[in-house]
Structure 1
Amino acid sequence: MKAVQFSDHGRRDVLEYGEFDDPEIERDEVLVDVKAGALNHLDVFTRMGLGALERLELEMPHIPGSDAAGVVDDVGTDVERFEPGDRVAVSAGLSCGHCEFCRDGDPTLCTDFQIIGEHVRGVHSEQAAVPAENLVPVPEGVDWETAAAAPLVFQTAWRMLVTRADLQPGESILVLGASGGVGHAAVQIADYLGAEVYATASTEEKLAYAADVGADHTINYDEENFADAIADATGGRGVDVVVDHIGKATWQDSLGSLAKGGTVVTCGATTGRNPETDLNSIFWNQLEVHGSTMGTPGEVDDVLELVWEGAFEPRIRKTLPMSDIQRAHEIIEEREGFGKVVVVPDSEL
């Protein structure tokens, strides 16, 4: 088969699309003929060798990619949930299944939690061997781009807002980076939950897209400080929740945008993991800081059912052949456009 791959960490030029050994499935795995994959900023960090907590040590060459959808080609001897011909999408969180957190029903807290494409071989390839428990059914009528683009960002945003921040109707929320994958999912979910949604982006075109998917108020962070804009818009009160996946560049202003008793929830740090933190403002204003990673199987099912029904829409900024993977990474790194970048095996075009 052909696959996206790299043999060394580095810049975009380490990425290649070429021949790779065909995958062989284990007893609990499913062989998927991939129809489409989607990129996340995670793919950039993986390519560079940067894990969430430490530098990655991967078996090389490595196939990246945490998002994909396709058709079941074969199943392992222990697999009962799927059969050849089924339409499926990948949910990338891997857990051990037996630690105290897995037993308690929250595998995102697993002591050995890993992500397909980041810690183990990914799915940006013509075929992929995926554990059956990491696949979700895709109904007929859902296109492959949507099925590939939805799982990671929508489960991440759903857990952030519904489970971790407990966002309620009538509350106010600020979503940073609303043009990205998690950002545009968070805007839609917040609007669905009945919140008043503020969103930031860097261009008027991106802000228009954010408004189109549910933002009530938009802020161009290249033209004004978003914390000042929130203070002006709320009469100095601030918002109840801030979604910050940016990190070092925005952290202080995220805290400064919160109302007393407010919550900041984060799932990433694309500009740096070690921001300065004003502890005085946290304790004096009784702020809450919540981390969030991926979603539980139940959360995945809940949010993807809404995607399949059309309540939420993964916006696709660009669809490219997998052979153009360097350009796909460039779009993510340079923050071009709004929504998700999709890659399709050249053999499917």
Structure 2
Amino acid sequence: MLALVLDGIDQPLQLREVPKPAPAPGEVQVRLQAAALNHRDVWIQKGQYAGLKFPIILGSDGAGRVSAVGESVEPGLLGQEVLINPGQNWGDNPAAQARSFTILGLPQDGTFAEYVCVPARVVQAKPTHLSFAQAAALPLGGVTAYRALFTRAALQPGERVLISGVGGGVALLALQMAVAVGAEVWVTSGSAEKIAKAVALGARGGISYHTEKWPAQLTKEAGGGFDVVVDSAAGPGFNDLLDVAAPGARIVFYGGTQGAIPQVPPAKIFWKQLSILGSTMGTEQDFARMVALFEQHQLVPAIDEILPLASGEKALRRMEQGLQFGKIILQILE
């Protein structure tokens, strides 16, 4: 089969022929139609991820048809249109993943290929209203956004939500889901164009985080503080999120692209009775509920660009530069 292979740190992806994987007992083989990029792929290429091994086929998100089944797998899965939950071996504790938890695309070969083999339990029927490219945009970002919003922050209809750094896949999927359940959503970005696009997707409004004293300006415009704040940056800007949070608010973050959080005035947290929550990926139940929410509300994830598999290296550079609004998709099978 054809696959994009990463041979080492800072090496470009190489499209080449590799052996087609066969499903082990309990697994299915999926003939992939489309895959989607995540920042995780860029970090692995740069050597900024734990458990590196080479050569490796990157890619955590994918959608396609079940093309073969392993021993003890229901034969009725053959030919079904599916999307893949990239989280594997979560474990028995729904509160946190087990030490054995892994994500498709490292250490196991991922979805930047014509075929991939995964446990049968992690494939789920593709929502019929979505194309394969749209379905491929959902898995990692969707389950991350769902768990952050609903499992961890317990978002309720009517609450006011702030999503920082809108434009990336997780942030946009969180925006769509929060709007769908009746929350009032506001956003931040460094790009006025991205804020305008977020408003077109249902956000009430937004502000540039480059604006001087933006927390005060945004809370005035929104009519008060935010009940839920969703962030992936952390870093020095985290203190601003404490300022925009309403009393009793939940601040949940699923990443730290801006690095460590500097000294935080504790009174801002205890006097406002804030909850600071971490979140990573999600359980199989989180994943199923996320897909069901997209089906119920007929949501369609935002796609930035669809490129052929051979353009995987170009796609990674676009993601690295932060130019995208929505998911970058690799079309594998027309």
The verdict on a shared fold, with TM-score over 0.5 as the criterion, is: yes
Q: CA deviation at 1:107?
A: 7.7
Asked whether 1:27 is paired with 2:25, we answer yes
Q: CA–CA distance in 1 between the matches of 2:319 and 2:300?
A: 19
Q: CA–CA distance in 2 between the matches of 1:82 and 1:92?
A: 22
Asked whether 1:56 is paired with 2:51, we answer yes
| Contact 1:70-1:87 within 8 A present in 2 as well | yes
| Contact 1:153-1:182 within 8 A present in 2 as well | yes
**TM-score w.r.t. length of structure 1:** 0.89
* Pairing 1:295-310 to 2, within 5 Å after superposition: 295-309=282-296
Q: CA deviation at 1:161?
A: 1.0
> What's 1:230 paired with?
218
Matching residue's letter, 1:41: H
Task: Count residues in correspondence.
Answer: 334
Q: CA–CA distance in 2 between the matches of 1:275 and 1:131?
A: 41
Matching residue's letter, 1:71: R
Unaligned runs of 5+ in 1: none
Asked whether 1:206 is paired with 2:194, we answer yes
**80, 84, 92: which is aligned to 2:78?**
84
Q: CA–CA distance in 2 between the matches of 1:257 and 1:180?
A: 21
Larger CA deviation: 226-235 vs 77-86: 226-235
Q: What SS is found at the alignment partner of 1:286?
A: coil
Q: CA–CA distance in 2 between the matches of 1:22 and 1:271?
A: 39
**241, 247, 254: which is aligned to 2:234?**
247
Q: CA RMSD in A?
A: 2.0
Q: CA–CA distance in 2 between the matches of 1:225 and 1:146?
A: 37
Larger CA deviation: 244-253 vs 62-71: 244-253
| Contact 1:164-1:290 within 8 A present in 2 as well | yes
Asked whether 1:184 is paired with 2:172, we answer yes
Distance 1:192 1:335, change over 3 A: same
Matching residue's letter, 2:142: F
Q: CA–CA distance in 1 between the matches of 2:63 and 2:95?
A: 22
**257, 264, 267: which is aligned to 2:251?**
264
Q: CA–CA distance in 1 between the matches of 2:322 and 2:78?
A: 38
Matching residue's letter, 1:157: A
Q: What SS is found at the alignment partner of 1:152?
A: helix
| Contact 2:57-2:109 within 8 A present in 1 as well | yes
Distance 1:309 1:276, change over 3 A: same
Asked whether 1:42 is paired with 2:40, we answer yes
Asked whether 1:72 is paired with 2:52, we answer no
> What's 2:100 paired with?
112
Matching residue's letter, 1:203: S
Q: CA–CA distance in 1 between the matches of 2:173 and 2:160?
A: 16
Q: What SS is found at the alignment partner of 1:205?
A: helix
| Contact 1:34-1:126 within 8 A present in 2 as well | yes
| Contact 2:69-2:75 within 8 A present in 1 as well | no
Q: CA deviation at 1:216?
A: 0.6
Asked whether 1:9 is paired with 2:9, we answer yes
Distance 1:163 1:141, change over 3 A: closer
> What's 2:311 paired with?
324
Q: What SS is found at the alignment partner of 2:215?
A: helix
Unaligned runs of 5+ in 2: none
Q: What SS is found at the alignment partner of 1:14?
A: coil
Matching residue's letter, 2:3: A
Asked whether 1:283 is paired with 2:277, we answer no
Matching residue's letter, 1:7: D
Matching residue's letter, 2:259: G
1:193-220 deviation digits (Å, cap 9, x = unpaired)? 2222111122222112101111011112
Identity of aligned residues (%): 35
**95, 102, 126: which is aligned to 2:89?**
95
Distance 1:209 1:254, change over 3 A: same
| Contact 1:31-1:73 within 8 A present in 2 as well | yes
**270, 281, 294: which is aligned to 1:294?**
281
Q: CA–CA distance in 2 between the matches of 1:275 and 1:3?
A: 42
Q: CA deviation at 1:16?
A: 1.7
Larger CA deviation: 23-32 vs 198-207: 198-207
Q: What SS is found at the alignment partner of 1:341?
A: strand
Q: CA–CA distance in 2 between the matches of 1:115 and 1:137?
A: 20
1:264-284 deviation digits (Å, cap 9, x = unpaired)? 101111222454433332223
Distance 1:310 1:258, change over 3 A: closer
**151, 160, 171: which is aligned to 2:159?**
171
| Contact 1:247-1:275 within 8 A present in 2 as well | no
Q: CA–CA distance in 1 between the matches of 2:265 and 2:107?
A: 33
Q: CA–CA distance in 2 between the matches of 1:96 and 1:196?
A: 32
Q: CA deviation at 1:309?
A: 4.7
1:220-252 deviation digits (Å, cap 9, x = unpaired)? 2234443233333256x4211110111214212
Q: CA deviation at 1:326?
A: 1.5
